[in-house]
Structure 1
Amino acid sequence: MKYSVDKKEQYVVFTPHEEKLDSFLSPKLKSELLTVHAEGYPNLVIDMSNVKYVDSSGLSALLVGNREFSKDGIFIISSPQEHVMKLIKISMLDKVFNIVDSIEEAAEAIFMHEIDGKEEEEEEEN
């Protein structure tokens, strides 16, 4: 599986350089997402701009990433192409995933998530 990882201070941008996320590539995607999480990054943006097709196993890999990163951070799908977005909606996963149109929007969502998390911590302390 071809991909790139861009590690920022608050989050990681994971960009698959594949047109299909199918049963052939999904195990590798799951593994890579779990590895990034294990490295201590709580927030991940998966840039789906290159992905034209996702099957059920690809969606399953995204759900694994969402579950892991949502424990202590946020998992965001950025720039899904039209066909991928249709499949996400048909599967009703648009209610599960955080989906944005660009990396910039994802960075903003992470910033807001971080602020909300700090406010909740302060309220718990009081």
Structure 2
Amino acid sequence: MKYSVEKEEKYCLFKLNESKLDSTLAPALKSEFITIHAEGVKNIILDMSEVKYSDSSGLSALLVGNRLFSENEGVFIITAPTDHVMKLIKISQLDKVLNILPTVEESVDAVFMNEIEKDLNQEENGQ
């Protein structure tokens, strides 16, 4: 699986450099998500701008990532999905479950907004 990872202070940008996210790649992607999460990364942005095709196992990998990073008040954001991938997400009604944004910049902003909200909630709760 071809990909690049840029780790920043508040998030990790994971760019999938593959044209297909299918049953041959999905298990490796799930493993990468688990590894990155185990390293202490709370927020991940998955850049899918290169992915032209996905199948149900690819969507399953996205759901694993979403569950992993969302369970500890982190965020999992899919950015720049292609038309085909977006159609599949909508048909599966996963657009109601997944955070999907059109650009990396908007995704980074969303991560920082989530961090600010989390900090404010902790202050309000006296933590």
TM bracket (short chain): over 0.9
Residue 7, structure 1, aligned to residue 7, structure 2: yes
Q: CA RMSD in A?
A: 0.9
Aligned to 1:37: 37
Report the equivalent of 2:49: 49
Give the unaligned 5+ runs of structure 2.
none
Q: Could you tell me the TM-score, scaled by structure 2's length?
A: 0.97
Alignment partner, residue 17 of structure 1: 17
TM-score normalised by structure 1 residue count: 0.98
Q: Which runs of 4+ in 1 moved over 3 A?
A: none
Identical positions, percent: 60
Q: Distance in 2 between matches of 1:19 and 1:58?
A: 12
Show the 5 A alignment for 1:1-126. Answer: 1-72=1-72, 73-125=74-126
**Displacement after TM superposition at 1:124 (Å):** 1.3
- C-alpha distance in 2 between matches for 1:39 and 1:50: 26
Structure 1 unaligned regions, length at least 5: none
